[in-house]
Amino acid sequence: MDGDTLYSIGDLARRTGLTVKTIRFYSDRGIVAPKDRTPAGYRLYGIDAVARLDLVRTLRELGLDLSTIRKVVDRELSLPEVAAAHAEALAVQIRVLRLRHAVLAAVAARGSTPEETELMHRLAQLSEDERRRLVGEFLDAVFGGLDAATPAFAGVKRSMTPELPDNPDAEQVQAWVELAELSLDPEFRASVRQLAEEQAAEQVRGEAAGPRRDIAAVVRDQAGPALAAGVEPASPHADPFVAAFTATYAHFLGQPDDIELRRRLAARLERVNDPRRERYLQLLAVVNGWPAPESLAPVLDWSVQALRLRTP
């Protein structure tokens, strides 16, 4: 076969692996035009039709529409330009599929009601700007006014901000959906706001002594060894550990280590130990790609129990 030989649709079908019907369809739309016709009116094609059909099949498998394919084979558009645009479109489709997969996986795992499923779907479909607004509303409700009065809270606010990446995996999307649901819970917002206000008040009260650590971190460090050693909260061996963190809290507040202070500290630690707060931090780490945070629940449970047993 040479460059002057003409081929029927049947010949092209055998050479390309496409059906006669498909080749005729492309020919009718001008993508592969015949060079001549037989006396009986049958179409004849040149050897270049084989290369064009191979390219058309490849582009169709990549998902390009016929209008774009025609422009490529007619050299009205360069293939790199089309490939770049199509890659961008596929990236959007992949993101949508990931979101849908995450929602369906979460529904399957959680046994959600139709109402919960609809909420999850809407949360997963939020744009980046919409996600930022939702997160901003939650953080403003929790820290509004406090970060200006207490500069340290600006850093705390940033550390509690979820940033869903451009190409999240299914686990990150599921975590984002659950975190968004949690941030919409008015009771959770009120609980975290109360904790923030208490910490801000403590920071202001002890401002003269300089920056201070959060009391939950102090309790973790000072009571953690007792828990690790298997000391029971009711045991006399727990006394020095309790005395250590209550003395630190009294120093923070500039108040005596008395019954009232210990009651206040126990209530404070119970609020810090809210399972929803820990879940928020766990989800935040997943969304942001951070290491999983240490659970404070065991040491806080121990500390609250030890405090209550020593507080009439």
Query: Using one digit for the tens of pLDDT, what is the confidence trace for 105-152?
Result: 777 777 778 877 777 777 777 777 888 899 999 999 998 888 666 667
Residues 249 and 247: their CA atoms lie apart, in Å, by 5
Sequence length of the chain is 312
Side-chain-facing half-sphere of 229: CA atoms under 13 Å: 12
Q: Is 37 helix (H, G, I), strand (E, B) or coil?
A: strand
Q: CA-to-CA distance for 53 and 27, rounded, in angstroms?
A: 10
At position 33, the amino acid (one-letter code) is A
What's the CA gap between 241 and 227, in Å, rounded? 10
pLDDT of residue 120: 73
Taking a C-beta distance cutoff of 8 angstroms, is the pair 181, 119 a contact? yes
Are 198 and 269 in contact, with CB atoms under 8 Å apart? no
Judge contact between 149 and 204, C-beta under 8 A. Answer: yes
Closest CA to 128 of 99, 95, 166: 166
Give the pLDDT confidence score for residue 77 in this predicted structure. Answer: 65
Terminal CA-to-CA distance of the chain, rounded, Å?
Answer: 103
Query: What is the pTM (predicted TM-score) of this model?
Result: 0.66
Report helix angle 114-124 to 170-183, nearest 10.
110
**DSSP 8-state assignment for residue 244:** H
Spatial separation of the C-alpha atoms in residues 132 and 172, rounded to whole Å: 16
Beta strand residue intervals within 144-275, DSSP E = none
In whole angstroms, what is the distance from residue 306 CA to residue 235 CA? Answer: 9
The per-residue pLDDT for 101 is 76
- In the chain, the DSSP E strands lie at 36-37, 43-44
- Who's near 244: CB < 8 A, 6+ residues apart? 222, 223
Q: What is the pLDDT of residue 243?
A: 96
Q: Which residues of the chain have pLDDT under 50?
A: 1, 208-210
Residues 88 and 85: their CA atoms lie apart, in Å, by 5
Task: Name the CA radius of gyration of the chain, rounded.
Answer: 33
- How far apart (Å, rounded) are the C-alpha atoms in residues 180 and 191? 16
